[in-house]
Amino acid sequence: MGLIASTLKLASVRNFAASVPVWQSGIAQLPDSNYQTFAREGYMKNELVYACVEELSTSAAEPVMMAKTGDRWVHSGPIIDLLNHPNPFMDRFEFWATIIMYRSLAGNAYILKVRSGAGRVVELWLMRPDRVKVVPSRTDYISHYTYDVGGGEVIRLPADDVIHIKTRHPVNDWYGMPPLMAISGRTDIDNWMKDFVKSAFQNGGMPGAVLSIKQKVTQEQKDDIRNRFRGNFSGPQGWHELLVLDNTEASYTPMSMPLGQRGLVIPELDEIEEARIPMAFGVPQSLIGTRTSYQNGGYANKRAEEQHFWTGTLIPLYRELAGPLNLRLAPDFPRISEVAFDVSDVWALQDDLDKVHSRARENARAGIWSVEEAREVTGLNARWAPDATFLVPSATPPMAGTDLEDPVLPEPATPALPAPGGGE
């Protein structure tokens, strides 16, 4: 009875944790962000957003996949083959680069598992996030997913056949929050500033004007003119338009502005956007070539930022990407307990070649490493060719490993005891 009671208690706790309101159960939920807007106004229009997303996405070319079977990590096998060749039209790099792009712009990426007639997963396909909807369930948390293929046709997808990769979201149970959402205001300002300058060039560099009316007008008439101006010319579509008044004497004075020195181009705003937008994506400025990074550049600084980019942004990102695979894909492959990204060979995480060689020489000279170990660390074969010629320093004579063993010392002699009776 104790086991039955514990099982029922666990089931009730799970139902409570996964409970959804009645009105949500069985109804497709809508994300609270517009993927089309973020894609068009961010990735497709703003060069900072584009550069950050591409820097994150193209990193997918470096780490390879590995799987844990028993207590060993292997780089081959059915699940690795699937992840390296997910479908006939995508390779591993394009697959993961697109997932990272979707995650950055939508906060969500969806992988559809395609099964053979025997039920084995044989292909993985990506679904555009704005076409996927989550359908909750009061008993199973997620009932199923739907995919809109266009033309009013909606396909129902079993929850077990969808791998949902998402970011964290503080107020949404079903969808992730795109990083671009947090900086959408900054992105808008950057876009508006560029659009305003572009519009100024297209309109003779006249961003505004003063309207002087010779006759005296009441405050009500002034407010009416301002309101008419705002109503007709506010927003980008009304920039640089001309207000025309009739039945009065008025003069129009354009207020031209220079580009620099507090004119149309405001350096401080550029610097703020160049810092804040990459910050939200976790991308150092030096990797995307901002103006500030050129001023504070240098190989050592960029090298340090590349290493920080991997340790602070990309390694946690790849752990997040592997998590849903372990929940939704690994169980489809017997004897596979976990999959992960192998970052051991990532160039940015390796020491400089000079440092590697210097450490090998010092360790070999100090007797910490053998000559063979030092050769392997520096990329050489442990054993050298018999006819090789070396210049060997004479200060330190070489010793074989057997010569370094501790010698076996004889047991100390036991002192003689005095004879009974006290005689010597």
User: Tens of pLDDT along 32-59?
Assistant: 678 898 899 989 998 999 999 999 999 9
Does one domain contain both 229 and 90? no
Does one domain contain both 238 and 126? no
The rounded percent of the chain whose pLDDT value lies above 70 is 69
372 occurs within a structural domain = yes
Cα separation, 156 vs 121, in Å, equals: 18
Most confidently predicted of 10-24, 175-189, 323-337: 323-337
pLDDT greater than 80 at residue 10? no
Domain limit, last residue, from 301, 327, 350: 350
* DSSP per-residue codes, 354-369: HHHHHHHHHHHHHTSS
Does one domain contain both 27 and 172? yes
402 occurs within a structural domain = no
Domain limit, last residue, from 330, 350, 370: 350
Does one domain contain both 185 and 224? no
> Which pLDDT score is estimated for 371?
83
Does one domain contain both 22 and 128? yes
For the ranges 94-98, 142-146, 182-186, 187-191, which has the lowest average pLDDT? 187-191
Does one domain contain both 76 and 148? yes
Does one domain contain both 31 and 70? yes
Q: Give the 3-state secondary structure of residue 201.
A: helix
Radius of gyration of the chain (CA): 34
Residue with tokens 């008439």: 221
**In total, how many domains does the chain have?**
3
Cα separation, 277 vs 314, in Å, equals: 17
pLDDT greater than 80 at residue 402? no
Mean of per-residue pLDDT scores for the chain: 79
Does one domain contain both 90 and 148? yes
132 occurs within a structural domain = yes
Element (H, E) at 141: strand 141-150
Is-contact 93 59, C-beta < 8 A? no
> Which pLDDT score is estimated for 301?
76
Determine the structural domain holding residue 245 and report its residue range.
Answer: 208-255
Does one domain contain both 344 and 358? no
Is-contact 255 266, C-beta < 8 A? no
The pTM of the full predicted model, rounded to 2 decimals, is: 0.70
* 332 CB-near residues (< 8 Å, 6+ apart): 113, 120, 121
Does one domain contain both 172 and 215? no
For the ranges 110-119, 134-143, 243-252, which has the lowest average pLDDT? 243-252
Domain limit, last residue, from 350, 376, 407: 350
pLDDT range class, residue 295, cuts 50, 70, 90: low
Does one domain contain both 270 and 310? yes
